Amino acid sequence: MLAMDSLNRARAELVALYRRTGADVPFGDPLPSHGTEMEGWFWRLTDPATGRVVVALCSCNRHAGGDWSTVAIALEPSGVVRSAAFDTAVADRRQFAIHAEDGSGFLDADRSRLQLTIDDCAVDLRVDNTEPWPKVFGGGGMFSSVPFLNQYWHPYCLGGRVSGSVKGAGVDWQFDDARLYCERNWGAGFPQRWWWGEAHDFDQGDACVAFSGGLLELGPIHREVTGVVVRLGSRVLRITPPAPVSSRFDRDDWHWQISARTARFVVELDGSGAGRAPHVLPVPVPAERRNIDTDYEFLAGTLRCTVREWGRVIFDGTSHLAALEVGDRPQ
């Protein structure tokens, strides 16, 4: 028994060291902190009956003078954005638990609860991840287990349920069994440029779609990479390089186009934010202990998703509560 305990402790220590590089072991749990320079968590809930969308985000940012946190709340259709840089932040490396606070508010989050207050706006939600991630590797596919990448991405909740309230900033919203999407991103910080989108309120079927792309860096290697995840009922498709995934973004008319292919599946995404103004969200600069406003996200854009299997269309749906985002980080 003692020998087995020692072996388990040694294994846990090795996994912790490996995770410190940003990578995860197969079947690992990406939700607890890895201890990288920037650790981000993101929640997005929608209520199609009212057209309401709530985005809450936070990051734990490493700094020699003490860890700090980027936090934000964005609301649609009110157009409200509240963001801040909290002076303190603690993210547990053993379990999913985050705490941050400042004179302007606080954050407490774990697998079942999110409480976030920024100035006059407060989010208090009970979370139920009814569609957890089912794959061996995370959202980045095999890249999820490659150490020292500048950015990792994992959509860990592909259609959960949430109840609670959002109050202040001119709103008093109650939610009961609303739809929920959650994800993680972590690494050295945001890439130099990125594009992203998510939708789960389609006009047909039980589906959730997410894509994430950006300039991936590993030492001298710089490459634009995009990954696509689609949940159709109980099936989850993930298409990432080395499979061919192409992406195009036109900022003049806020138009996203993604095409991802394998021998069996083809996923085509066409998104638009035309006619609306994007919310401007904060991006952390961990080493400088400050946020920059270079993240432009539509909370209620339009996204059409078409999925083919062996050439036959198995899903063709459109969401008008889609999140569509593009951003960059000054050099």
DSSP class per residue in 240-270: -TTS-EEEEEETTTTEEEEEEE-SSEEEEEE
**Burial of 193 from C-beta contacts in 10 A (0-12 / 13-18 / 19+):** middle
Q: How many CB atoms lie within 10 A of CB 136?
A: 12
Task: For residues 284 and 61, give the distance between their C-alpha atoms in angstroms, rounded to a whole number.
Answer: 8
**Burial of 197 from C-beta contacts in 10 A (0-12 / 13-18 / 19+):** buried
Q: How many CB atoms lie within 10 A of CB 257?
A: 14
CA-based nearest residue to 301, from 328, 329, 327, 275: 275
- Residues in Cβ contact with 52 at an 8 Å cutoff, skipping those fewer than 6 apart: 46, 75, 76, 77, 173, 175
Task: For residues 289 and 146, give the distance between their C-alpha atoms in angstroms, rounded to a whole number.
Answer: 27
List, in sequence order, the alpha helices (H) in the chain: 2-19
User: Can you give the pLDDT at residue 57?
Assistant: 98
User: Can you give the pLDDT at residue 4?
Assistant: 65
List, for residues 125-153, the tens digit of each pLDDT value: 999 998 889 999 999 998 899 999 999 99
Confidence (pTM):
0.95
Q: What is the DSSP letter of 11?
A: H
List, for residues 212-265, the tens digit of each pLDDT value: 999 888 788 888 999 999 999 999 999 999 999 999 999 889 999 999 999 999
Task: For residues 8 and 94, give the distance between their C-alpha atoms in angstroms, rounded to a whole number.
Answer: 15
User: Can you give the pLDDT at residue 12?
Assistant: 80
Residue ranges in the chain modelled with pLDDT below 70 = 1-8, 331
What's the chain's average pLDDT? 94
Task: For residues 212 and 60, give the distance between their C-alpha atoms in angstroms, rounded to a whole number.
Answer: 20
User: Can you give the pLDDT at residue 331?
Assistant: 65
Tokens matching residue 226: 């995009």
Residues 210, 214, 220, 221, CA torsion sign: positive
